[in-house]
């Protein structure tokens, strides 16, 4: 068999951290215009990371670049840590944005704006989200599955879809979030529930006491085809930011989230609201650091 000599630029980036191995890794493949969907999926399956992105020329003249996002099993129209990680990789490679300090990413949900903030972090504007509260029976089944962890029903659990659908559940505090474990029976019940409401999994979050390193602790558990806990999840944090506003629970104009603690990671997500613009966009930011830089051959 003759091996292909085609090579493209490749980076593996750790997202929502400035320290390698503490965030959520992402594989970024450059110059992917001539790759088929099947080849992209095969590469994503091989990298075996939660997501792999492929950078292509944009089809919309307003965009700086186009990205396709793949898990090991499927393509996603949007995801948060791949959005920040791809932007980091592209800028580090020497790309000059069309408008300094901003980027426009074209992806499955359309155009996603990114901006460089005063603290030098990059942030993306959360896409619009659809919010669907659970009915009484679904809330009861959810509470039974998570017991003895206590749900804070002052913020009712909701399915939130911004391109990646999640079931968001507020717990009484951060300690309960970190202590949560799922028995096989609970996992089975939750898997059935998330399938019923059309989400990929559950997002549990709880407030920290004052003086803690973050406003909220958050965990994302995928249920179904992938039964894993995601280290740090941009789409889930974007969904939470929108839901907090909708439920009147927004903690001011900015707040922070710690995620990945239960996995030995130290992800940090910064959320800021901009009420001056139409639609009061939510900005989801964080650091990224390159861990692997080289070429990919196939």
- The catalytic residue positions are 51
Nearest residue to 20 via CA among 11, 10, 8, 29 = 11
Helix ranges (H only) for 28-77 are 37-47
**DSSP strand pairing (102-107 vs 65-70):** parallel
Q: Is the peptide bond before 172 cis (omega within 30 degrees of 0)?
A: no
User: Which residues lie closer than 8 Å to 153 by C-beta, 6 or more apart?
Assistant: 139
Return the SS3 of 58. coil
Cα angle at 275 between 274 and 279, to 5 degrees? 95
User: Which residues lie closer than 8 Å to 283 by C-beta, 6 or more apart?
Assistant: 115, 117, 123, 124, 125, 126, 271, 272, 273, 274
Q: How far apart are CA 106 and CA 103, in angstroms?
A: 10
253 contacts 273 by C-beta, under 8 angstroms = yes
Residue 252: other Cβ atoms inside 10 A:
8
Return the SS3 of 27. strand
Return the SS3 of 218. strand
């Amino acid at each position: 068999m003759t091996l292909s000599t085609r090579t493209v630029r490749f980076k593996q980036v750790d997202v929502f951290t400035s320290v390698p191995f503490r965030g959520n890794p992402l594989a970024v493949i450059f110059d992917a215009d001539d790759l088929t969907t099947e080849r992209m999926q095969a590469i994503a399956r091989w990298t075996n990371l939660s997501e792999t992105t492929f950078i292509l020329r944009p089809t919309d003249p307003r965009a700086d670049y186009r990205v396709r996002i793949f898990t090991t099993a499927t393509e996603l129209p949007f995801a948060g840590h791949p959005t920040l990680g791809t932007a980091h990789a592209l800028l580090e490679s020497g790309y000059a944005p069309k408008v300094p300090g901003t980027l426009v990413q074209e992806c499955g949900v359309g155009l996603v704006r990114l901006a460089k903030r005063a603290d030098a972090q990059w942030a993306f504007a959360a896409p619009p989200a659809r919010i669907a509260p659970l009915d009484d029976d679904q809330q009861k089944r959810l509470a039974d599955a998570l017991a003895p962890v206590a749900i804070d029903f002052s913020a009712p659990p909701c399915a939130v879809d911004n391109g990646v659908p999640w079931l968001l559940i507020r717990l009484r505090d951060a300690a309960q979030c970190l202590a949560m474990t799922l028995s096989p029976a609970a996992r089975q019940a939750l898997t059935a529930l998330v399938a019923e409401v059309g989400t990929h999994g559950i997002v549990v979050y709880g407030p920290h006491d004052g003086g803690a390193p973050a406003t909220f602790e958050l965990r994302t558990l995928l249920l179904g085809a992938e039964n894993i806990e995601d280290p740090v999840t941009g789409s889930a944090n974007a969904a939470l930011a929108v839901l907090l506003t909708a439920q009147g629970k927004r903690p001011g104009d900015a707040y922070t989230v710690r995620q990945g603690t239960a996995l030995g990671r130290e992800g940090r997500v910064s959320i800021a609201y901009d009420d001056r613009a139409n639609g009061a966009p939510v900005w989801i930011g964080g650091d990224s650091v390159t861990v692997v830089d080289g070429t990919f051959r196939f």
